[in-house]
Structure 1
Amino acid sequence: MGMTDSIHNAEKTEASTLVDSAEDKYLGVGEKRELFNLLGRAHTMEIIHVFVHDPGPWRFNELREVLDVSQNTLSARLSELLEANLLTRQSYDEIPPRVEYRATEKLTDLRPMFQHLSEWAEQYNH
């Protein structure tokens, strides 16, 4: 093997290492896609915004009062946020039944992102 072959093999190995590390970097793309799809659904960001600023507890009707969201949509989004572990749901055995939603740490950790997004929107008058 000549010097040229040795250089080409070294370049191939380096390129292969870069590709492997790039693939490692994007592990979990499916999970990220699911999260971004959830965040892009109608009213999800509004609901998250409420919980970022006040983690709760919130009752369903309280959320309906502060959000302009239909009952069915709010119910669906809350279920999706529960499934994504962004909210918890506590039901109480009372009459009438009482259900409360709270933000999880996973959701409250989004606070800096919302703050930066709000600052960006104000800067560009959105």
Structure 2
Amino acid sequence: MSDTPEDSEATETETLVDAGKDKYLGVQEKRELFTLLGRAHTMEIIHVFVREPGPWRFNELRRVLDISQNTLSARLSELLEAELLTRQSYDEIPPRVEYQATRKLIDLKPMFQHLSEWAEQYDH
């Protein structure tokens, strides 16, 4: 079997695509991330953790964010699943649970800074 220029180009393209798989999210992963970020109160919660990574107790977050218990619980679960937060529970009475930002979430800080600058520039 001989290598034609077309075969060589296809191999180079496949190599670039394969190399990029580790670095970039696929369409499905991006869709899931943007869906999560677009859910009610998710950006507010992330913003709190970007400013102060924690640990945060559930009721502290409720007071700061003024979000219903059910919604906050659902969003925190989704952020845990996305590995943006960690959850630590302590065997105490009353039970104590703390949430903390992961490196993955903290790395979003520049994005929030840029969004804030953009919003100020365009009065949003």
| TM category, shorter | 0.7 to 0.9
Answer yes or no: is 1:59 the counterpart of 2:61: no
Corresponding residue for residue 99 of structure 2: 101
Point out where structure 2 has 5 or more consecutive residues left out of the alignment. none
d(CA) in 1 for partners of 2:32, 2:26: 10
**In structure 1, what residue type is equivalent to 2:91?**
D
**In structure 2, what residue type is equivalent to 1:40?**
G
d(CA) in 1 for partners of 2:106, 2:42: 15
SS at match of 1:95: coil
Corresponding residue for residue 114 of structure 1: 112
**In structure 2, what residue type is equivalent to 1:113?**
M
| Change in 2 beyond 3 A, CA 1:104/1:27 | closer
d(CA) in 1 for partners of 2:31, 2:67: 24
Answer yes or no: is 1:75 the counterpart of 2:82: no
| Change in 2 beyond 3 A, CA 1:70/1:111 | same
**In structure 2, what residue type is equivalent to 1:93?**
D
| Change in 2 beyond 3 A, CA 1:27/1:112 | closer
d(CA) in 2 for partners of 1:40, 1:91: 28
Corresponding residue for residue 3 of structure 1: none
SS at match of 1:56: coil
RMSD: 2.0
The TM-score normalised by the length of structure 1 is: 0.81
| Larger Rg, first or second structure (1 or 2) | 1
The TM-score normalised by the length of structure 2 is: 0.82
Distance apart, 1:119 and its partner CA: 0.4
**In structure 2, what residue type is equivalent to 1:47?**
I
d(CA) in 2 for partners of 1:80, 1:31: 14
d(CA) in 2 for partners of 1:124, 1:105: 30
d(CA) in 2 for partners of 1:60, 1:71: 9
d(CA) in 1 for partners of 2:42, 2:57: 17
